[in-house]
Each structure stands twice: as C-alpha cells, then as structure tokens.
Amino acid sequence: MQTSQLSGVGPAPRPWRDGWSRFWLGDWNPIIRDPIDVIRLAFLAGAIVTAIEGDWLATLRLTLTFLATLAARALDLPRPFDLAFNLGMAFQAWGNVFHAFEDVYAYDKLIHFVLPMSMSALLYFIALRLRVLPDLEHESGIRQRLGILLVTFSMGLTLGVGYEVYEYVIDNWFGGNLEVGYGDTIADLVDDAAGAAAGGLLVIVWDTYGWGTRRRIPGSHGEEAQS
C-alpha cells in the first residue's frame, strides 16, 4: 500500500535540485538570463579591457563577436544551439586575443570544426525564422530529416569555403602574409565539412525528439513552457 499517495503527500522537495536547474535554465533576470549570457557579456568586458590597453584590433574582434552573439540571442535559439554558437565564437575570439592559433597545437583545426558546427545550425534556425524552410515542429520523416542534414551541411560548408576565399584575397591581394597553401586550404575544408555535418546531425537529433525551435522559458510552478 502506498500510504504517501493515499494521504496526499507528494515526493520530498529537493531545493538543491531546483536551484541547480534554475542556475542552468534560468531565467535569472531579463538582462542576464543564464550562463550563456555571461559568456556573451565576457566579450563586451574583453573589448573594454583591450580598448583600455590600446589593443584596437582585439577590441574590434571582441566587439564584433559580442554583436554577433547578441544577434543570436535575438533569434531566441534553443539553449543548446545558443550555447554552441557562443562557445564557437569564444574559441575564435579569445584564440585570436591570446594568440592560441600560433601557440596551441592544432587549435586551428579545432576552430574549423567547432565554428562550422555551430554556424551551420545557426543558419538553419535563421532560415526557419525567415520561413525559407519549414519549422522542425511540423511532422517530419526520414526524407525530411535527410533534407535537414543536406541543407545544414551545405550552409556550414559554404561558410568554410567563403572563409578560405577571404584568406586567399587577404594573402594574395593585400599582402596579408597568411602563408595559405593548397594543402592547408584542403585540410581546413575537410574540418569544415566534418563540423557542418556534425551541426546537421545535432539538428536532426533535436528534431527527432520533437523539441521546440525556440528557447524554453520557465512556466508556472517551475515547469517549462514554450515561448
């Protein structure tokens, strides 16, 4: 006999668990909602510090990164994809500030995987917001999911190709001395392709479980409600 149910007594409260969930899933307040917003603000703080130090190139990079992450916030992305984009931008921005590309082995390969992975998913959600593509919340089958993978992969790889063209122009037209060779370009594109494919697979997993395409906000009584 389950006396607790007969007496109307529910499970014991777990304040530590509720507090931990609130820490990660917010919302703390309307401005700084959760740890993802802390990552965003770190770019702004870094831009201010580097400006004080007179490192204007680092200031420009961090400011542009901060604005890009603000744009991602405005898209109301689901938390995992918002986090992935912010982490990808963090690896890129702070790697430039602290010269990790030159000093850390294979750091460039990490960036060429992480950024296309996060950016490909971001571009897919942008296409959803613009209604260029159907919403993931609509019923989809295997063919639709293969389409999601193909489109997401293509967008992510296109970004990688665009960046390689940018490097070529800077190196050959403006004397950037980036020392970009054919082998380096192909290796970067392979990493970009792997990252873009991973981004597409993450979107498919998200769709398979039927999770929403927008950030979830706290509902009544601690439950999660779709925004």
User: What confidence tens digit (pLDDT) does each residue in 186-222 have?
Assistant: 999 999 999 999 999 999 888 877 777 888 655 433 4
23, pLDDT greater than 80 = no
Distance in angstroms (rounded) separating the CA atoms of residues 173 and 167: 10
| Domain annotation covers residue 117 | yes
Residue 86 lies in a domain: no
Q: Tens digits of per-residue pLDDT, 147-174? A: 889 999 999 999 999 988 877 787 777 6
Q: Which residues form the domain of 114?
A: 105-210
The amino acid present at 86, given as its one-letter code, is N
Q: What's the domain count of the chain?
A: 1
Share of the chain above pLDDT 70, in %: 78
Task: Name the band, by pLDDT with cuts 50, 70 and 90, for residue 64.
Answer: very high
Q: Give residue 206's pLDDT.
A: 87
Whether residue 8 lies inside any domain: the answer is: no
| Domain assignment present for 137 | yes
Q: Is residue 111 assigned to a domain?
A: yes
CA atoms within 13 A on the CB side of 144: 13
Indicate whether 144 belongs to any domain.
yes
Q: Between β-strands 224-226 and 216-218, what pairing exists: parallel, antiparallel or unpaired?
A: antiparallel
Of 94, 109, 107, give the one whose Cα is nearest residue 61.
94
pTM (whole model) above 0.75: yes
pLDDT of res. 226: 42
Give a yes or no: residue 97 inside a domain. Answer: no
Q: Where are the beta strands (DSSP E) in the chain?
A: 216-218, 224-226
Q: Which pLDDT does position 156 carry in this prediction?
A: 93
Give the whole-angstrom CA distance, residue 171 versus residue 169: 5
Beta bridge partners of 225: 217
- 186 found inside a domain: yes
